[in-house]
């Protein structure tokens, strides 16, 4: 398995600059398609960890907010603070109980409070300071709460045959 940590993007650019620009046509749909694929798995994992009524949750790099809204609608949590460096997709679909914060989670002063659930999916894989960010996010977890991080890994290697799948994976990374 080749699970090499990735930098922010081509030539050291930050997420959303060279690729995945929020204003690029179809970017919201791109995030939604990933969400459609993984949301059921994510929700099952979160429910298995006990996430439910009364929980105050932080969804880091919330994207279009599919997990944030399902936490409220299906798991019945008390509140979700959805944080993203660009909240235009989140603000397009407001729901009661969903608060939004436009912020850069890599900022040294990022400290939105403490939460029983701190969740980040497909976010840290795009950022270079994994260890520092994991520590910083762990400090936002209230006593007895959980930190749930999920990311993709590159399962290809130099010896993997060329297939449409490997071409797509290499292009993505
Ligand atoms: C691939 S999307 C994942 C969205 C959502 N978590 C999901 O799984 O559907 C990555 C998200 O992280 C956000 N993001 C990237 N870098 C960030 C940063 N430094 N601070 C806050 N949000 C960031 C992006 O704007 C984008 O919405």
Give me the DSSP letters along 138-170: HTTEEEEEEEEEE---B---TTSPP-HHHHHHH
Report pLDDT for 4: 39
Residue nearest to atom 8 of ligand 1 (CA): 121
* Residues 62, 27: Cα–Cα separation, whole Å: 14
CB of 126 within 6 A of ligand 1: the answer is yes
pTM for the model stands at 0.86
- 83-141 pLDDT, tens digit per residue, is 999 999 899 989 999 999 999 999 999 999 999 999 999 999 889 898 999 999 999 99
Rounded Cα–Cα distance for residues 112 and 99 (Å): 12
Q: Where are the domains of the chain?
A: 10-172
pLDDT of residue 8: 46
**What spacing in Å lies between the alpha carbon of 47 and ligand 1's midpoint?**
22
CA-nearest residue for atom 12, ligand 1, is 61
Q: Domain 10-172: which topology?
A: Rossmann fold (3.40.50)
- Please give the pLDDT value at position 147: 98
Strands of the sheet containing 115-121, edge to edge, are 98-102, 79-84, 56-60, 115-121, 141-150
Does residue 9 register a pLDDT over 60? no
Residue 5's pLDDT is what? 38
User: Are 123 and 60 spatial neighbours (Cβ–Cβ below 8 Å)?
Assistant: yes
161 CA to centre of ligand 1 in angstroms = 31
Nearest CA to ligand 1 atom 24: 61
Lowest mean pLDDT among 20-24, 71-75, 112-116: 20-24
For ligand 1, say whether the CB of 105 is within 6 Å of any of its atoms. yes
């Amino acid at each position: 398995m080749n699970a090499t940590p990735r930098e922010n993007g081509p030539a050291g650019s930050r997420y959303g600059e060279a690729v995945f620009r929020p204003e690029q046509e179809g970017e919201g749909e791109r995030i939604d398609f990933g969400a459609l694929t993984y949301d059921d798995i994510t929700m099952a994992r979160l429910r298995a960890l006990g996430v439910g009524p009364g929980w105050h949750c932080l969804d880091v790099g919330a994207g279009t907010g599919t997990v944030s809204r399902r936490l409220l609608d299906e798991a019945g949590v008390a509140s979700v603070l959805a944080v993203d460096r660009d909240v235009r997709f989140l603000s397009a679909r407001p729901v009661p109980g969903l608060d939004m914060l436009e912020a850069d989670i890599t900022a040294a002063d990022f400290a939105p409070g403490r939460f029983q659930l701190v969740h980040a999916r497909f976010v840290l894989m795009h950022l270079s300071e994994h260890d520092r960010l994991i520590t910083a996010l762990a400090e936002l977890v209230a006593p007895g709460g959980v930190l749930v991080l999920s990311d993709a890994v590159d399962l290809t290697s130099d010896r993997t045959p060329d297939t449409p799948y490997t071409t797509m994976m290499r292009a993505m990374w």
